[in-house]
A = this chain, B = another copy of it.
Amino acid sequence: MPNPLVSKLSHGASLSEADVARLTEISAPMAKVPPHTDLIREGDRPDKVQLVMSGIACRYKILPDGGRQIMAFLLPGDICDLHVTLLGHMDHSIATVSACDVVAIPRDTILELTNHHPAITRALWWSTLVDEAILREWLVGMGQRSAEKRLAHLFCEIFLRMQVAGMANGNSILFPLTQSELGDTLGLSVVHVNRMIQNLREDGLISLDRKVLEVHDMPGLMRAGGFDPNYLHLRKSEERGVLGAVS
């Protein structure tokens, strides 16, 4: 039963056993949050950092006309707002999608980590930079890819990220998003999301039923989505930059 925070962060830096122990300790006391519940709302001034340990949450923004855009998914091991304190207030909201286990980490704990655990600090940094890279890739998709490609791309991404967090089960994962939420993510109507899912199914690439996503042909799905995992920065540590403390 691996700790998803540990699973994820060890892709970002080589953690010592002490680091792992500290992370495990931190991520212990969890609150159960029901589905579709805001964790932070636009305008809030967060004083703690929230960490998703199970389930899926999302960043989103609601427009005056009622439209909703989902801007990121937070999977197990993902941290919500490491640094937003600097900006003073949230410019978007975060809500659970499925039921989630969430840990609230006091600011002081984060400061202690960044002062005494350089490897953890690196790993946290790495994870925020990956979040940003994902955001850029989503923008690329919205601007340049067709509806079907965007969907396939998103399936690839979530599958891989789930795998990294230790939450994949062979070639299937728990996938609690409704088609309407997929629509709000990809800028598509529910109806069209549905049509595109049918396409991917008929092509024998995936099946998606009862909140279980099964990938039958990963290479095919990646081809269908024009997916290149590079932007997730998952390569092994030797290949990473040599780095320097960045502050």
A139 contacts B142, C-beta separation under 8 Å:
yes
In Å, the complex CA distance between A136 and B72 comes to 9
Please count how many residues in chain A sit with their CB below 8 Å of the partner chain's CB atoms.
58
CB of A163 to closest CB in B, whole Å:
19
Please state if B247 and A63 are interface contacts (CB–CB under 8 Å).
no
Q: Residue of B at shortest CB range from A82? A: B246
List the one stretch of A17-25, A124-132, A210-218 in contact with chain B: A124-132
- Residue ID in chain B nearest A91 by CB atoms: B231
* Nearest opposing residue in chain B for A72, CB measure: B136
Are A139 and B140 in contact, CB atoms less than 8 angstroms apart?
Answer: no
Q: Given A226-B63, A241-B45, answer yes or no on A143-B187 (Cβ-Cβ < 8 Å).
A: yes
**Copy total for this chain:** 2
Which residue of B has the minimal Cβ distance to A135?
A: B135
| Contact residue among B59, B63, B114, B126 (Cβ-Cβ distance under 8 Å from A136) | B59
Q: What is the CB-to-nearest-CB distance from A185 to chain B, in angstroms, rounded to a whole number?
A: 8
Taking the closest CB of chain B, its distance from the CB of A176, in whole angstroms, is: 20
B residues in contact with A110, CB < 8 Å: 247
Q: Taking the nearest CB of chain B, how far is it from the CB of A224, in angstroms?
A: 13
- 14 additional A-B residue pairs with CB within 8 Å, beyond A59-B136, A64-B226, A114-B247: A65-B226, A68-B144, A69-B144, A83-B246, A85-B244, A86-B122, A87-B240, A87-B241, A89-B241, A91-B136, A91-B230, A111-B244, A135-B136, A139-B139
